[in-house]
Structure 1
Amino acid sequence: MTTFTAWKFDSIDGADRAADTLKQVRSEGLVKVEDHAVLTWPADADRPDVKYEHRDDARAAGWGAFWGVLFGALFFLPLIGAAAGAAISLLNKRMNNVGITREQLERIGKEVGPGNSALFVVTSDRDLDRMAERFRGHEATLIATNLVAAEAAELRQAFDA
């Protein structure tokens, strides 16, 4: 099953450090990373910086569109009043098919802001128990996932330890 997760870090470099761990976990064969993106938002910046990693050139355009729609609607459009609701509605229609709910999108938009960072990951074929061991010590908040409740609790526990 393909899984989307979004993690918020209270530091600018937290998501980069977790992405390095993710790359290590991937190289050990504990997870297949379809793609991931790191968002950093310096406290004095108007907008975040986003880095994508497209591992599969054949599907890079598809992932670029996915991340573009997600981040564009949440962080780069002028989200004021009715425009915010319209952007979230459009994004919800696109993301609903991959198991990302409107509530999760709204939470991502509210939680991620100046002074922090976030790691967005699309994975498949994972070993959650062994992955959790590698992520202990990364202080993060799971802000969105399409995992079932027991799997999400397992991931939260790994980052909270």
Structure 2
Amino acid sequence: MTTFTTWKFETVDGADRAADTLKQVRSDGLIKVEDYAVLTWPADADRPEVKYENRDNWRAAGWGAFWGVLFGALFFLPLIGAAAGAAISLLNKHMQDVGITREQLDAIGKQVGPGSSALFVVTSERDLDLVAERFRGHEGTLIATNLVAGEADEVRQAFEG
């Protein structure tokens, strides 16, 4: 099962530090990371900065489009008003394919703002217990996931603990 998760951090560098842990977990073979993106939003900036993980050109094109639609609709297009409607419809289609609801998208848009950061991850084939253990102490908040309730609670506790 493909899993989408979004973590919010109360610091601008929190998501970068969690991404470093994610890379280590991936290299240790505990999780298959399809792709991820790190969003940082300095307190004095008008909009966030986004860094993508691109491993090869074929995947980069597909995931680049996905991330572009996601971040564009959530953080950039609302600034231009009605023209955002078509992009939001396209985003809803992509998000349904990944298993993310409109409510989760709304939560992301409302909770991630200046002075914070977020890690967006698409994974599959994971050892949830070991992965959660590696992320203990990162102090992020899980704001969107398509994990089932028990799995989401387990991952949430790892970040809180």
Pick the TM interval, shorter chain. over 0.9
Unmatched 5+ stretches in structure 2: none
Aligned length: 161
Q: CA contact under 8 A between 2:4 and 2:122: conserved in structure 1? A: yes
Quick check: 1:34–1:55 contact (8 Å CA) kept in 2?
A: no
Distance 2:100 2:9 in 1: 20
Within 2, Cα distance between the matches of 1:93 and 1:119?
21
Q: How does 1:22-61 map to 2 (within 5 A)?
A: 22-61=22-61
The residue matched to 1:59 in structure 2 has which SS?
helix
1:146 aligned residue:
146
Q: Deviations over 1:18-73 (max 9, x none)?
A: 00000000010000001000000000000000000012332210000000000000
- Asked if the contact 1:88/1:102 (under 8 Å) is kept, the reply is no
State the alpha-carbon separation in 2 of the partners of residues 107 and 89 from structure 1.
17
Q: Which moved more, 1:75-84 or 1:48-57?
A: 75-84
1:103-122 to 2 correspondences below 5 Å: 103-122=103-122
Q: Once the two structures are superposed, what CA deviation does each residue of 1:100-136 show, in whole Å capped at 9, x if it has no partner?
A: 1000000000000000000000001000100111100
Change (3 A) 1:139 1:83: farther
Contact 1:74 1:87 in 2 (8 A): no
- For 1:134 and 1:78, locate their aligned partners in 2 and report how far apart those are by CA, in whole Å: 36
Structure 1 pair 105/95, CA: closer, same or farther in 2 (3 Å)?
Answer: same
Unmatched 5+ stretches in structure 1 = none
**Deviant stretches of 4+, over 6 Å:** 80-86
Native 8 Å contact 2:69 2:90 kept in 1: no
Amino acid at match of 2:75: F
Over 3 Å counting, the alpha-carbon distance change for 1:81 and 1:59 in structure 2 is: closer
For the residue of structure 1 that corresponds to 2:131, the secondary structure is: helix
Query: Hey, what does 1:15 align to over in structure 2?
Result: 15
Q: Report Cα offsets for 1:135-157 as digits up to 9, x if no partner.
A: 00000000000111111111101
Partner Cα separation in structure 1 for residue 20 and residue 58 of structure 2: 23
* CA deviation after TM superposition for structure 1 residue 79, in Å: 3.9
- Structure 1 residues 14, 63: closer, same or farther in 2, change over 3 A? same
Aligned identity (percent) is 83
**1:12 and 1:116 in contact (8 A); partners too:** yes
**CA distance in 2 between partners of 1:25 and 1:150 (Å):** 21
- The one-letter code of the counterpart of 2:38 is V
- In structure 1, what is the equivalent of residue 91 of structure 2? 91
What is the TM-score when the length of structure 2 is the normalising length? 0.93
| TM-score, normalised via structure 1 length | 0.93
